[in-house]
Amino acid sequence: MANKKKVFGKMEVSKNSFKTLSEPVKQFGGLVGIIILIFLTFFVLNNIFGEGDELVAKMKIEEERIAQERKLNKLISSLPSGVLVSFDGTDNFKLSDELYEAVCKATKLIPQRAIMGANFLNFRAHEIYTINGNKIDETFVKWDDEKNKCFAGFVVSGNNVGVDETIKVSGEALSFLSTGIDTRVYFIKNF
Amino acid sequence: MKKLIFFILFSSLITSLALARSTGCKEGNCDNGYGKWVYTDKTTYEGEWVATKKHGQGTETWPNGYIYKGQFKESQWNGIGILFFPDGSTYEGEWANGFMNGEGTFTWSDGKQKKGIWKNGSFQE
């Protein structure tokens, strides 16, 4: 009981000393208090709902990806329309090493003729491709940093004579088609 | 607004007509005889036709650089023929049902060769 009185007494003294402060000091103290409260609220909310550093990292990756894509799109629009090759001996536009890598990274499409060409060396893939009405499960175009080469391929799957099969055909992407809007893999060397 | 719709429809019509004119039998007789057919993806076949099918000697050129010169049967690569790959590699020999089948020689663009029997596009060791 005596302790309680002591506490209340102390609070009363603090209250009185606060009242004795000048008005600008009180306002400043209030402002600091509100700012601390806002920070604490956001801190608590961020801990409960926010993804913190993970989200920031994801956003950075996405921003970098968008910047890279813009750069590649700019480069593609500067390329001549038509066939682009990475090897000598043709009249087509020969890609420099730098352009070859850039075009590879920007390319996502593999047209039917490139798939049919690769299937010459893979009869099972051809059969499944034909049986499924030229349906492709997945296509990919990847730049290999170690080999300094562009690889492209596709996956076909289906039932062939009672057997479920999934076949991945891949090889070096050696030529591309530039339409002026996008680029497509034109030749997959899988032999 | 009406003008815009009219313009879009008119453009579509012109494009369709232009596309229709650029494909199909462009030269000669593509029913029975010798003729040149152009497909929508710019693949061309020039050679002999029997009953509207590619049959006999002919050349098929794909837009991505594959060229087959040789015999056709029922519109498929059948008989003796040579396929030029886009990078300069070739296969010369026997074909059946559109695949390397029989005796043939595969020559890589660097000159390396593989000669022997092929079955459905695979070399038989």
What is the tens place of the pLDDT at every residue in A93-146? 999 999 999 999 999 999 999 999 999 999 999 999 999 899 999 999 999 999
Cβ contacts (< 8 Å) between A114 and chain B: which residues?
64
Residue in A116, A121, A130, A169 to test binding to B, most B beta-carbons within 10 Å: A121
Q: B18 versus B35: which is more confidently predicted?
A: B35
Q: Kindly state whether residue B47 falls inside one of the protein's structural domains.
A: yes
ipTM: 0.81
| Residues 59 through 88 of chain B touching chain A, CB cutoff 8 Å | 62-66, 83, 85-88
CB A186 within 8 A of CB A171: no
Instruction: Tell me the C-alpha distance between A87 and A60, whole Å.
Output: 36
Distance (Å) from the C-alpha of residue A65 to the closest C-alpha of chain B? Answer: 30
For the segment A77-87, the average pLDDT, to the nearest whole number, is 93
Q: Using the predicted structure, report yes or no on whether residue B21 has a pLDDT greater than 70.
A: no
| Residues 102 through 121 of chain A touching chain B, CB cutoff 8 Å | 111-114, 117, 120-121
CB-CB under 8 Å, B106 with A117: no
Question: How far from B24 is each of A82, B37, B53, CA to CA, in Å?
Answer: 22, 5, 13
DSSP 3-state of B108: coil
Q: Kindly state whether residue B109 falls inside one of the protein's structural domains.
A: yes
Cβ contacts (< 8 Å) between B109 and chain A: which residues?
87, 89
pLDDT at position A43, please? 87
Print the domain residue range for B62: 24-123
Cβ contacts (< 8 Å) between A126 and chain B: which residues?
99, 121
Q: B3 versus A107: which is more confidently predicted?
A: A107
Distance (Å) from the C-alpha of residue A150 to the closest C-alpha of chain B? Answer: 15
Q: Which of A85, A113, A120 sits opposite B63 (nearest CB)?
A: A113
Distance (Å) from the C-alpha of residue B9 to the closest C-alpha of chain A? Answer: 23
Answer whether 0.90 is exceeded by the pTM.
no
Number of domains in chain B: 1
> Is B99 part of the contact surface with chain A (CB cutoff 8 Å)?
yes
Instruction: Tell me the C-alpha distance between B10 and B2, whole Å.
Output: 12
Per-residue pLDDT of B84-105, as tens digits, reads 999 999 999 999 999 999 999 9
Task: Please state, as a whole number, how many other Cβ atoms lie within 10 Å of the Cβ of residue A86.
Answer: 22
